[in-house]
A and B are shown apart, each in its own frame.
Chain A
Amino acid sequence: MTTAATNQHVLSVRNLRVAYSTPTGYLHAVDDVSFDLSAGESLGVVGESGCGKSTMGKALMQLLPPGAQMSGSVQLKDDELVGVSRRDLRRIRGEEMALVFQEPMTRLDPLMKISTHFVEAIRAHRPRTSKSAAREMGRKAMAQMGIPPTRADNYPHEFSGGMRQRIMIALGVVMQPSIIVADEPTTALDVIVEAQILDLLDRLRRDEDLGLILITHNLGIVAETCDRVAVMYAGRIVELGPVEEVFTTPKHPYTQGLLRSVISVDTTELASIEGFPPDLQHPPAGCRFAPRCDQVFSDCPVTDPRLTAVTDHTAAACLLYDGAYPPEHREGAHA
């Protein structure tokens, strides 16, 4: 599945941490996340609710709520995004990077025609574009998404949820960004529309050489559309590798549990992982998954595993694999 895109990364994230300040201290919703994304590649981010997927997506766009702090490095092509000025950030949003949201129903201003949305979005980046030219660009983007351009002058409430999501995508790609972050783009939609939207995103990725980050909790979607997958747990990436490899031979116990819990047509008994994700304000000292892990052993509650290469392409953060021990603990690794 790895389309072996040119080894040039459009996005590289290094040691990204996002902290929400709460009355009782900082909560690291995303803790030390690193990954790369090449042009034309799609990366799926999966994990259960509250493990930091959406926060990571928003952090990439820097759309975090006030009071959230991020550190580390997010490099988009040659620009460093962490600590960038507000003006540069505005340019990057929409022009370099687009975000597709979870609920398309409420993401368009109810009092604005669709064409006006396009005019506003385009003029935010190219203030000198004439209105008619911007409308024309909008119509083209809509046609590309399979929405009849004749409907450009309709209001958002006159469209169905799937159409609105396609309009949102059209709005996102009209400036031809290099990356799309899709945060559960199909959660609110039915399966037919879901397939259409995913198809569209996939086509865009191929045709325009877009990098796609698909955040979802639906493993099926990832298996179908993504090249690589990052499994997140408690703010960290616990396994990162090609979709086929991760899904056929999962390395991390959490991934294994997640895959067991998938409900398919022939599921007769529901499987799940016992327990709940840890309190991120006071994360456990060792492996964060240890309290719920079925392969836990003596080192787990005390040693924090690092993400380490397990096979040629896949990396996992689990003490079952030798490389996961921090350097000073290497000698005490279980044989």
Chain B
Amino acid sequence: MATDTNTSAPLAEPPAQTDPSSSPLTRLRKRLEHALRPWRRANPGARYLVIAGVLITLMFLVMAVFADTVAPFGQDQYCSDEFFNPENGACIGAGPDEQIPNRAAPSRQYPFGTTDTRFDVLSRVILGARIAFAVVAFSTALAMLIGVPLGLFSGYIGGRFDKVMVLVMDSIYAFPSLLLALIIAFALGLRLEQLGIDAPFVPAAVAVGTVYIPQYFRVIRNHTLSVKEEPFVEAARSLGASRTTIVFRYIFFNVVSSIPVLFTLNAADAVLTLAGLGFLGYGIRFPTAEWGLDVNLGLADSVAGFWWTAFWPGVAITLLVTGLSLMGEGLNDIVNPLLRVKGYRGKVKLSARESLKLAGDRDPDAMEAAPHRAGTGEASR
């Protein structure tokens, strides 16, 4: 009898704490806590990686979104504001004194210096972020929209269709990516010009996107191959679900978890590919501000001692790629439970309370009390 009350009283306590006051706010908090569990269980190193990556990426993202207000000048502005017509990029009536000096060294007025075409380097670096994000978003969206459904169906249907798809994707993958992007950008650019469509960043974005389709395809296909053998897929079939329903309602959500990591890593790579295209002259056309293009334009300058024209766009490329990669690697460490456990084990020498906290359990006090209680119960018996 005594043990009965002993065990039942503390057991009744926790629900009393949480249940009656389950307002929408606390429920939301609980959900968030649950969602953040992997984050708290992650290896601290992985967390710093993600934080650093997110901060760098956010900085560029803010720059890109507010580019027009942050940048002191327009991308092709070579005179002071009062003479500048942003519509056609012309400076009407600006005398030599009102024009921006060419190849001016970094100063208070032009922190990153100016180019030989009298453009402000800082403004072009800031505006270049906008193009970079636009192309990255467009190209990865394209790669995902094509690669993911193809991978799902190829994996689920299997057979000859799968063999052909894998062959096609493997040949795309085996082709040097920059060369492939060059060919697509060049051909598509020509075609759009012929058709008279003015879409400056579409060829580059499509070119970069095509390069990444095989990656999404492979990851999703291989994951689908294992998920389609799950018994619940057969059960869904036995209930009369169609192929499309099974693929998009049952399999998709079970394989979607591998996409975010791939996305961030691809985004980093896409920035590089875009810059590579621009550097070789097949990406975004002058005078639009794009980092790879600016590095190319600044090459001659840097030989002549004007280091700043190519340096700052180069720094921007490096920073953004680093930020995105850090985010991707860190996310991988957090999302992948195997890596997560490894990191957790590294910290065994903590006190019980601390390690429980590290393990992300909601209420370390309750957890600590539980084994205690069990022990006394055993003893009293």
Q: Give chain A's interface residues, CB within 8 Å of chain B.
A: 61, 63, 66, 90-95, 98-99, 101, 103, 106-112, 120-121, 124-125, 168, 171-172, 175
Contact A124–B239 (Cβ < 8 Å):
yes
Q: Give chain B's interface residues, CB within 8 Å of chain A.
A: 158-159, 230-232, 234-242, 245, 249-250, 253-254
Picked from A90, A91, A108, A124, the residue with its CB within 8 Å of the CB of B232 is A108
Knowing A109-B254, A111-B253, the reply to whether A93 touches B231 (Cβ < 8 A) is no
A125 to B245, CA, bound (A): 12
Contact A109–B236 (Cβ < 8 Å):
yes
Contact B231–A106 (Cβ < 8 Å):
yes
Knowing A107-B231, A108-B232, A109-B232, the reply to whether A94 touches B245 (Cβ < 8 A) is no
Chain A neighbourhood of B236, CB < 8 A: 109, 120
Picked from A66, A98, A103, A112, the residue with its CB within 8 Å of the CB of B239 is A98
A194 to B220, CA, bound (A): 39
Using CB atoms, name the residue of chain A closest to B232: A109
Contact B249–A120 (Cβ < 8 Å):
yes
A168 to B253, CA, bound (A): 20
A168 to B238, CA, bound (A): 11
A112 to B238, CA, bound (A): 17
CB distance from A297 to the nearest CB of B (A): 44
Contact B254–A124 (Cβ < 8 Å):
no
Contact A95–B250 (Cβ < 8 Å):
no
Chain B neighbourhood of A93, CB < 8 A: 237-240
Q: Can you list the 7 inter-chain pairs with the closest CB atoms, starting with the nearest?
A: A94-B240, A94-B239, A93-B240, A107-B235, A99-B238, A106-B231, A121-B239
Chain A neighbourhood of B158, CB < 8 A: 66
Using CB atoms, name the residue of chain A closest to B251: A109
Contact A171–B240 (Cβ < 8 Å):
no
Using CB atoms, name the residue of chain B closest to A105: B231
Chain A neighbourhood of B253, CB < 8 A: 109, 111-112
A106 to B234, CA, bound (A): 10
A138 to B182, CA, bound (A): 55
CB distance from B242 to the nearest CB of A (A): 6
Chain A neighbourhood of B250, CB < 8 A: 109, 112
Picked from A61, A106, A120, the residue with its CB within 8 Å of the CB of B245 is A120
Using CB atoms, name the residue of chain B closest to A125: B240
Using CB atoms, name the residue of chain A closest to B257: A111
CB distance from B19 to the nearest CB of A (A): 15
Contact A106–B240 (Cβ < 8 Å):
no
Contact A107–B232 (Cβ < 8 Å):
yes
Chain B neighbourhood of A124, CB < 8 A: 239-242, 245
Knowing A107-B232, A109-B250, A112-B250, the reply to whether A63 touches B240 (Cβ < 8 A) is no
CB distance from A123 to the nearest CB of B (A): 8
CB distance from B309 to the nearest CB of A (A): 52
Picked from B231, B239, B242, B249, the residue with its CB within 8 Å of the CB of A172 is B239
Chain B neighbourhood of A110, CB < 8 A: 232, 254
What are 28 A-B pairs at a CB distance below 8 A?
A61-B238, A63-B237, A63-B238, A66-B159, A90-B242, A92-B240, A93-B238, A93-B239, A94-B240, A98-B238, A99-B235, A101-B234, A106-B232, A107-B231, A107-B232, A107-B234, A108-B232, A109-B253, A110-B232, A111-B254, A120-B236, A120-B239, A120-B245, A121-B239, A124-B245, A168-B235, A172-B238, A172-B239
A99 to B241, CA, bound (A): 13
Picked from B230, B240, B254, the residue with its CB within 8 Å of the CB of A121 is B240
CB distance from A45 to the nearest CB of B (A): 17
A213 to B250, CA, bound (A): 28
Using CB atoms, name the residue of chain A closest to B254: A111
Using CB atoms, name the residue of chain A closest to B250: A109
Using CB atoms, name the residue of chain A closest to B240: A94
Contact B234–A120 (Cβ < 8 Å):
no
A111 to B254, CA, bound (A): 7
Chain A neighbourhood of B232, CB < 8 A: 106-110
CB distance from B258 to the nearest CB of A (A): 14
Contact B240–A101 (Cβ < 8 Å):
no
CB distance from A277 to the nearest CB of B (A): 25
Contact B238–A103 (Cβ < 8 Å):
no
